[in-house]
Every structure is written in structure tokens, then in C-alpha cells.
Amino acid sequence: MSTIFKFLLILLAAVTVFPAFSQDEEDPYLWLEEVDGEKSMEWVHAQNKSTDALKNDPSFQSIYDKNLAILNSDERIAYPKILGEYLYNFWQDDEHIRGIWRRTTMEEYRKENPTWETMLDIDALSEQDGEKWVFKGATWLAPEYRHCIISLSRGGGDAVVMKEYDAVTKQFVADGFSLPEAKGGVSWVDENTLMVATNFGEGSLTSSGYPRVVKLWQRGTPISDAKVIFEGETTDVGIWGYAVQAPERNYQIVYRAITFFTANVYSLENGELVQLDIPEDASLEDIFKNQMIFSLKTDWTVEGKTYTSGSMLSIDFTKFLAGDRQFTVLVQPDEKSSIVSVSHTKDYFLVNMLNNVRSELYRYSFKDGSWDKKKEDAPDFGSISIYNTDTYSNRYLFTYNSFLIPTSLYLVSADKNEITRLKSLPAFFDDSKYEVRQLHATSKDGTKIPYFVVHAKDIEFNGKNPTLLYGYGGFEVSMRPRYSAAVGSIWLEKGGVYAVANIRGGGEFGPKWHLAAMKENRQLSYDDFIAVAENLVEQNITAPAHLGIMGGSNGGLLVGAVFTQRPDLFNAVVCQVPLLDMRRYNKLLAGASWMGEYGNPDKPEEWAYIKKYSPYHNLSADKKYPKVYFGTSTRDDRVHPGHARKMAAKMNAMGHDVYYYENTEGGHAAATTNEQRAFGNSLVYTYLFQQLKSEVTKAKDVKL
């Protein structure tokens, strides 16, 4: 769920079989955790060279050319952010490999080929500084939108360097606010004051590598003189500070993430921090018209009244601080619906909902102490995302797409009740040849698990169709219908079938769907995914010889778990930026922050259930596994590349053949330029066609 106080993460998942070494024995592949170690990088380069053999496949070059053409296409939507009188956009193409940050006006943007004003050329900046900079966004001082703090990453990691920028002079501000590389954040209190959470030196980070201290920093003073306003514990996930500028007042909030899903929230009132009396697992979504709006993960009883899991409540913030606990239920989802995200304009609070994994968009207004609700006249039966809102007017942007309908960008002028389609992607493939169905599989415990499947209308249900099943199943993240030019023009066009599973652990049906598969119940996610895979076979859509699975981050753990548990069910596994060693995950980079999802492997009672699915600990030399494709990045500073490295090395040592590719930059996204993205995607698709080919794909022309 979206919230102004949400920190940054989204990740990971898990498996069972025979442990090659016990939890107390030494891990023979620990040396691969040394990210830039000479020995480990020699191993990486050797693995990459071996995987380069995929480039010799006759179809590789045409797949690469198609991928790159899509990524560099001038027909892509230039997604803008409304900031005062300008619309800002970050753009990459074949001329701007690392990208340009640019702006235009709304009048100009409405044109077919708008003229853009370049603000910052990242390619030129990288050459000037001798760094491979990756643009990570800007934090603006409203409402003038002249000054901002620009975040730049070396190689695409989460850690960023921050520098103040002037949008009038189009230069970094000499002697302006500047922070060295760290996983942190800033927020403007006023033009001369920042709330800062960063690495302030020894002892200022949590065990997850995030800030432990929040300070107020005055312009023109050294950061060492900044005033401490809150210090958390080393065991916390992280501490962040946010200033929320609103017409009625300036709210200053401190967010202490105790775990990934629990937090204490404080408001700075007259120089003193006041803890907000809401459940630790509630999410403070917004403060709008002095209404504090938050959502519940579990049932909450207060003053004799119970508010149910998944609901969103509101209350006057001033009255709440004075002790009032008479909440208004703003949104009450049913068992088939959930809240995806929220945002607001000047006068409207926006709620993006899922109803049976289909989007609905609602607009709320608050007048005379009560709420009015209106469903926006947005397209049905697809995925809606609130892209950008203007909090100083009632304009906002949202996108709509589905598996077969290309993405469109809409402008809503709420004052006039006008919705205008500003831009649309072209159709990168002929959608008229395909259909989408929502099917259901029955999991091991009897729960019905929905999934989407996309295939040709004239498909033969003969069990021979190469099929790719995608999943995630964690952190309350929902898998929604999404238009993918690559899936359509590369996979579907060559006779492939594409499926997306809505398994427990995700957020498709609210917090309960997520909570059902946390910690000791993690195996339910894997049972659900296996059930969907089995249902694809039962439907005679495919067979194990032609069935592949794909997942990244938490989804990488998912596919790692299920292929070790059911190697007989799959013939291809794409495991990207994955978590795999669940014995040590909490000791690697941001891993400690995810113990709220998986449990703590250092506690014997929790390791007892984690070890049952940990992919790295459940490999067997005696089992026959599909040839797995592992993909990661040296510069991933969120999920350690050691997970994928060690899993691949261990499988090789056991005699199992694998593909392994590690991009030497790219962060958790595993790529920073369109060429890198196209190359990685092309390796994956080439691998999938090799593993899952059948008479169907053989009959297709390899030239795409």
C-alpha cells in the first residue's frame, strides 16, 4: 500500500529437501559474499562468460534487437510529474544512455512531439565526474519548486549522494545542502531547513543499514551541528523524518520502523515529539484537510468499538491529539477487495482499489466534517495506477493498462469533472489474436487461488504450449494485469502462454491474504504457486517439459523454493536478484529488515521452519533439477548478490548445470541503461525458448 511515510523496500521468498550442511557447519561458499573480492569476481566473470553462450543461439540477436527497439522507442510515454507550472520527466534512449532530466509545460506536453528543456544530462555529468551516475529522483521545496535535492546513485544501488539543485539557474547550488553516499532521505521543512536521516557516522545506522537518527539541519551550518530530534534502536529497520506542507499547517513527522510491518509514528508538536496512538502495524497513509488517515493490518478495538483488518480510518488530527477516538470508517474492503494506494490533490483524497484483482478509482471530498465519495469514470477491467498528483490544484495523472491493452496516461481535472487521455503506448503486438482468462487453482489446504492466463485464441489444449508462470507472493504486494510489450511481441508472438499467480503473501485481497503466509506459514505461498502450476497442466495448457517459472527478489525466493521442492514440475526457472540463503539473509545488506516477513533464523524455533524451505539448504546432489537461470547485479545493495552466487556455485559443485549472469552495475533492478536491460532480457528469453521449445515454437519463425 502507498503511504507518504513508506520507506523503500519490496522484496523476497522460499523451499525444502536435504541440507548439504547443517546450520552449524561452515558454509564453503562464504567467500562469494565478498562483493568485489578478487576471487569472487573471477568466479563471476567465468560464469558470465559461460552464459554468454546463449548469444550464439540463432534467435538471440533478433530478440535483442526487438527488446532494444521497444526500450528506445520514441513512441514510449514520457511520464511527467506536475510541479507547479512545469512537467518534469526523466528519459533514456539510444542518444542518452544514462538519461536526461528535462521539463516542459502542460500546453506543450499535450502536443504530439513536445519540446523539452534539458535540466540535467546524466551522461555528461557521469563523464565530468568520472562516475557511472544513475538518476534516483528529486525532493522538491514546494510550492515554488525552484530548489530540490537531487539523488544520484553510483551504479544503481539504493545508497545515494544528495545535492541541492536550482531549477532557475539549472545548476547545483554552490555551498548548498549536500550529503555523501548513504541509504537515507531528506525532507524540506522550509527553504533553510531539512529533516535529514542519513549515515551520520559510527553508530548512526541500524543493523539493516538504514538511518537510526533523524536531525534538523539548518542551511549554512555543518551537518555535525544539526539538531537531533529522534534516535531509534540499532535493531530497528530504520528511522525517517518527513515534513508535510499543507494549507492549514506544516506537519513534521518521524517514522520509526521497528520491523518491516510495525512502526511508531511521532508528530513534532511545539518542539516536542508526540507518539500517535495507533496500532504499530497500522499504516499512516496521509494527512489531508487536517484529517489523519490510516489503514489497519489487523483488527483494532478502541473505546469498545472494533475496526476490522484492511479498513481505512480518518479523524481530525487536532482532536485526535487532544484525546478524541471517534474514527470515521473511510474505506471498508470486503473479502475480494483491497486498497492499493492513496494520494491527494488540493481538495480531493484519491483511493485506488482492487476488486477481484481489477482496479477501481475513487475520489473523496471532505466538507463540513463529513466525507463524500465518487467513483471516477476510469476504464474498467484492468490496472489503474495514480501516477502523480498536484497538491496545489485538483489536477492529477493516472495510468491504465491490461495484459492486452497498451498503457494510457490520463489527466483528470477534478474541478471540471474532466478526464482526458493525454498519451498512449502504441500496440507493440496484435492483441486481437489473444485472450485473457482468470482461472482458479485449489491449494493444498483447499484455498482457491486465482491466476490470470494469456494465450492465443486459437490455442490447442494439447499440453505442448511453452508456458511462463510469474509470481511474487510477499510483502502485501499485488500482482495485477500489466501490459508488457516484450511479453507480447517476443513470448506470445512465438506461441508462448503467459500466466500470473495471485498467491497468498501478496496483497490482492488485503492484509489477511498477506498475513496468511507470513513466517511459519510461508509454505502456503509455495503450495499456492505449485497448485497454479499443476492447474496449468491439468487444463492441458502445458506440461512440465514446457513449463517455466519466473520471479525476482522475493519472487526469486519463491521460484527457488518451488523448484527445489518440485523439480519434476518445471523445465525452466528464471531466478532474479533472489534471496536464497535463508540462514544468513538477515546478516546481508538490508536483510535484517525483512525478519518481520520471514522470521529470525538466529532463533532456533524460527530457524526450524525457515530451514524447511530455504532453497540453499535444500539442494540435493541426488535430485534432477531443471537448468536454472540466475540473474543478479554486483551493485545490488538491497538483496546481496551472494545469494545467487552461492546457490549457483553449490549447484555446480553438485553436478547440476546452471546459467548465471551478473551485471556489474544496476542495483536491485540489475540494469541501469536500456542496452543492459535489453541484453539481460534477451538472455532470459533465449534461455526460455531453449528450455521450453515444442512443436509450437519450432513452427514459428525465429526472426521476431
- E strand or H helix at 451: strand 448-456
Contacts of 124 (CB under 8 A, 6+ apart): none
Q: What is the pTM of this model?
A: 0.91
Quick one: DSSP state of residue 488?
A: I
Q: What is the pLDDT of residues 351-370, one digit of tens each?
A: 999 999 999 999 999 999 99
Angle of helix 674-692 versus helix 60-72 axis, rounded to 10: 140
Write down the pLDDT at residue 184. Answer: 92
Q: What is the pLDDT of residues 86-108, one digit of tens each?
A: 999 999 999 999 999 999 999 99
Report the helix count and the strand count for the chain, using DSSP H and E: 14, 39
Report domain 30-68+429-698's class. alpha beta
User: Letter for the amino acid at 466?
Assistant: P
Q: Which residues of 619-651 are buried (b: 16+ CB within 10 A; e: fewer)?
A: beeeeebbebbbbbbbbbbbbbbbbbbbbbbbb
Catalytic residue among 484, 553, 593, 633, which?
553
467 touches 499 (CB < 8 A) = yes
CB atoms within 10 A of CB 367: 9
- Strand bridging mode 160-166 / 547-552: unpaired
- E strand or H helix at 609: helix 604-610
Computed on alpha carbons and rounded to an integer, the radius of gyration of the chain in Å comes to 25
Quick one: DSSP state of residue 472?
A: -
Write down the pLDDT at residue 11. Answer: 31
Angstrom distance (rounded) from CA 352 to CA 330: 13
- Residue 96 among the catalytic residues: no
Distances (CA, A) of 33 to 28, 46, 433, 593, 671: 11, 16, 47, 19, 20
Write down the pLDDT at residue 670. Answer: 81
Angstrom distance (rounded) from CA 32 to CA 43: 8
Angstrom distance (rounded) from CA 604 to CA 321: 42
**Please, how many CA atoms are within 13 Å of residue 280, restricted to the half-sphere of its CB?**
10
Mean pLDDT, the chain cut into blocks of 10 residues (704 residues total) = 36 31 68 96 96 94 95 94 97 95 98 97 97 96 96 93 98 97 96 97 95 97 96 97 90 97 96 96 97 98 96 98 97 95 97 96 96 93 94 96 97 93 96 97 98 98 98 97 96 97 97 97 98 98 98 98 98 98 96 96 98 98 97 95 98 98 88 92 97 64 41
594 touches 555 (CB < 8 A) = no
Catalytic residue among 344, 640, 656, 668, which?
668
The 3-state secondary structure of 263-279 reads EEEEEEECCEEEECCCC
- Residue 668 among the catalytic residues: yes
Write down the pLDDT at residue 207. Answer: 95
Return the domain boundaries, the chain: 30-68+429-698, 80-182, 199-275
